Amino acid sequence: MARVVVDVMLKPEILDPQGQAVQRALPRLGFDGIADVRQGKRFELDVEGPVDDAALARIHEMAETFLANTVIEDFTVKVES
Amino acid sequence: MARVVVDVMLKPEILDPQGQAVQRALPRLGFDGIADVRQGKRFELDVEGPVDDAALARIHEMAETFLANTVIEDFTVKVES
């Protein structure tokens, strides 16, 4: 079964308090040299049938209408080998 | 600045209620043909300096001790071009 990954991240101009919390905690934990952290969501979809252009268009629409809030979030759709 | 991505997903044997909720909602919304959905976290780290083996080892340790709960989660570390 083919796997398609949808990554959803806050747009760069949107404040990311989760990512900031992680970034600020790192030096305390002994990890330096990380200038910025952004935290987002990863969806792994197991797709029945072939992942052709029609299936990808459907998944794109699904991501746009349901998985991501496109007012504040960007998303990418990738087929995993 | 180099970007390193850490993906954190629940282990396959761990129940994923968030992913299940998404999967069950899809047919109601008119999207069929998705057999399974797993939801996880994606961290985008902006790394200062070169991303050499030492830096990647440090990020691996950071992911293992801090970003993921390795009792129930798997993680992958990838350098983004």
Query: Would you call A34 and B40 a contact, using CB atoms and an 8 Å cutoff?
Result: no
Rounded to the nearest integer, the mean pLDDT of chain B is 95
pLDDT in single tens digits along all 81 residues of chain A = 899 999 999 999 999 999 999 999 999 988 999 999 999 999 999 999 999 999 999 999 999 999 999 999 999 999 996
* Per-residue pLDDT at A11: 98
Element (H, E) at A9: strand A2-10
State yes or no: pLDDT of B81 exceeds 80: no
Query: Would you call A33 and B49 a contact, using CB atoms and an 8 Å cutoff?
Result: yes
Query: Would you call B35 and A47 a contact, using CB atoms and an 8 Å cutoff?
Result: yes
Query: Would you call A25 and B66 a contact, using CB atoms and an 8 Å cutoff?
Result: yes
d(CA B21, CA A26): 32
State yes or no: pLDDT of B50 exceeds 80: yes
Q: What distance in Å separates residue A38's CA from the closest CA in chain B?
A: 5
d(CA B65, CA A65): 35
Q: What distance in Å separates residue B46's CA from the closest CA in chain A?
A: 5
Partner residue opposite A42 with nearest CB, options B9, B36, B58: B9
d(CA A53, CA B59): 36
Q: Is A28 on the interface with B (CB under 8 A)?
A: no
Burial of A33 (0-12, 13-18, 19+ CB in 10 A): middle
d(CA A51, CA B11): 25
> Using one digit for the tens of pLDDT, what is the confidence trace for A6-16?
999 999 999 99
**Which domains are delineated in chain A?**
2-80 (3.30.1280.10)
* Chain B residues whose beta carbon lies within 8 Å of the beta carbon of residue A7: 42
> Using one digit for the tens of pLDDT, what is the confidence trace for B56-77?
999 999 999 999 999 999 999 9
Distances (CA, A) of A52 to A2, A81, B9: 11, 14, 26
* Helix, strand or coil, per DSSP, at residue B30: coil
